[in-house]
Copies of this chain bind each other. A is one copy, B any other.
Amino acid sequence: MGMVGGGPGAFIGAVHRIAARMDGQIELVCGAFSSHPEKSKQAGEELFLDPGRVYNSYAEMFEKESRLPKGERMDFVSIVTPNHLHFDPAKMALEHGFHVVSDKPMTFNLDEAEKLKAIVDKTGLLFCLTHTYTGYPMIKQARHFIKDGKLGKIRKVYVEYPQGWLSTPLETEGNKQASWRTDPKKSGMAGSLGDIGTHAANLAEYVSGLKIVKVCADINIVVPGRALDDDDAVLLKFDNAASGVLIATQIAAGEENCLKIRVYGEKGGIEWKQDDANTLLVKWLDKPAEIIRTGGPGNYPEVLFNTRTPAGHPEGYLEAFANLYRNFALCLCAGLNHEAPKPEWLDFPGVEDGVRGMLFIEKVIESGRSERKWIEV
C-alpha cells in the first residue's frame, strides 16, 4: 500500500500502519507523507522505504505509481490526512485505478461525499472508510445477535462517546491534533460531531441494523473562542420507529475514549463499551444477564473470524483497526485472483457509510441551529 499523510507528528497515520501490518498481508511500499517534501522524506526513511517511492505529493505518487508495472506498484492507498484533504486524493487515487482506504469523516462536506460515491460506483474499485469501532469482535457479535432477532424488535438505542481532551483550548497551545480538528477550514462544518459523533452514529446503525431518520440536536461550543462544536447531544429516530440518544463530547473533563452503546429490544438488550471491549453484556427481560466474551462460548463464526487469540487474551483498538484492513485486503486479493470474496470479508465500512456520515453531520448541525424540534435525515 501507499500512504497519503501520516508524517512526523501525526497520530492516526502510525495507527493505520500498525493495523495494516498486523496480519502480514499488507506491505507499505510508498507514500506522500506530508505536504513538506523534507518531512515526507524523513518519514520514508524512518519507515525503511525505498527513497525512490517517497513522493513529494500525492499527485506525484498516483502518477508515478500508476506507471509502474502491475505487481510492483502499490495496490491501494491509505489516506490519513485531515478532513479537508480526504476527497481530492481519494478521487485522484480512484481515477488512477487504485483502491482506497480513507480515514473518516469521508470528506469535507456532503457534496464531496456524494461525488466520491459516484466515482467509487463508476470505477468499481474498493473503498474502505475506517470507522474503527465496527472492527471490534464484540461489536460484530452484537450486530449478528440483533440481526438474528435475539432481542426482538429494536426499541431503543443509546450511544455515547465522551472525551475530555478538548476541555481546554489546546489548539492555542500548539497541539497539532487539536488545531486542525477545531479549524473549520480543515475539519469542515463540525468539530466533535465530525470527529467522534460520526463514529457513534455509524456504530449505532451498524449494530442495530437500523437507519437514523430524524434528529433533534443540542450543539454546543463550551470552550470560549472555539469556532466549532465541542459538545453534542442528539435525540434520534430510527426507520423502524425506535428512538435513541447520541452523546458526543470532547469537554467531559477526565474522560478518555469510552465509546459505549446500548441497544434494547422487546426481549432484552446489549451493552458494550470500549474500555471493556472484549465483553458483550446481554440483558434479558426474564432470565439472568449473560456475558459474551471475545473468543468464548456463543461467538458467531463471523466474529471468531475477526479474532486472533483464544478467549481471555485481550484484543484492543489496534486489532479492531486491523480487522478493517485485513477484510479489505482479503477482498482486494480475491479481486486480484478473480475470485468472489467470502461474505465475511465484505464486512468493512464503505463509501455508503461515508455518505451517511456526512449527511448525519449536515443534518445534526442544521438541527443545532434550528428552532424546530425534528429535522429529517
Residues of A within 8 A of B (CB): 11, 14-15, 17-18, 21-24, 28, 47-48, 151, 155-156, 158, 163-165, 167-168, 216, 218, 220, 222, 231, 233, 235, 243-245, 247, 249, 251-258, 262, 264-269, 274-278, 282-293, 296-298, 308-319, 370-374
Contacts and interface: CB of A to CB of B under 8 A. Distances in A.
A264 B254 CA distance: 8
A interface SS class: loop
A141 to B, nearest CB: 10
Q: Which 3 A-B pairs have the closest CB atoms?
A: A254-B283, A256-B312, A257-B312
A249 B156 contact: yes
A243 B18 CA distance: 39
B372 A289 contact: no
Nearest to A281: B291
Contacts of A310: 11, 165, 256-257
Contacts of A253: 151, 155, 264-269, 283-285
Q: Identify which of A15, A164, A313 gathers the most chain B CB atoms within 10 Å of its CB.
A: A313
Contact of A314 (B14, B21, B275): B275
A274 B155 contact: no
Contacts of A11: 310
A24 B17 contact: yes
A169 to B, nearest CB: 12
A131 B274 CA distance: 26
Contacts of A308: 14-15, 18, 318
Given A256-B312, A297-B287, A317-B314, A247 B249 contact: no
Contacts of A287: 297-298
Contact of A252 (B22, B264, B371): B264
Contacts of A28: 24
Nearest to A152: B253
Nearest to A375: B373
Contacts of A278: 275
A155 to B, nearest CB: 5
A106 B215 CA distance: 33
Given A155-B222, A233-B243, A309 B266 contact: no
A308 to B, nearest CB: 6
A340 to B, nearest CB: 21
B218 A256 contact: no
A156 B231 contact: yes
Contacts of A282: 254, 288
B167 A266 contact: yes
A148 to B, nearest CB: 15
A258 B285 CA distance: 15
Contacts of A269: 164, 252-255
B243 A314 contact: no
Given A275-B312, A291-B291, A168 B296 contact: no
Contacts of A249: 156
A235 B264 contact: no
Contacts of A22: 18, 21-22, 318
Contact of A289 (B283, B291, B309): B291
A243 B234 CA distance: 12
Contacts of A313: 257, 274, 316-318
A283 B252 CA distance: 9
Q: Identify which of A156, A252, A254, A276 gathers the most chain B CB atoms within 10 Å of its CB.
A: A254
A16 to B, nearest CB: 12
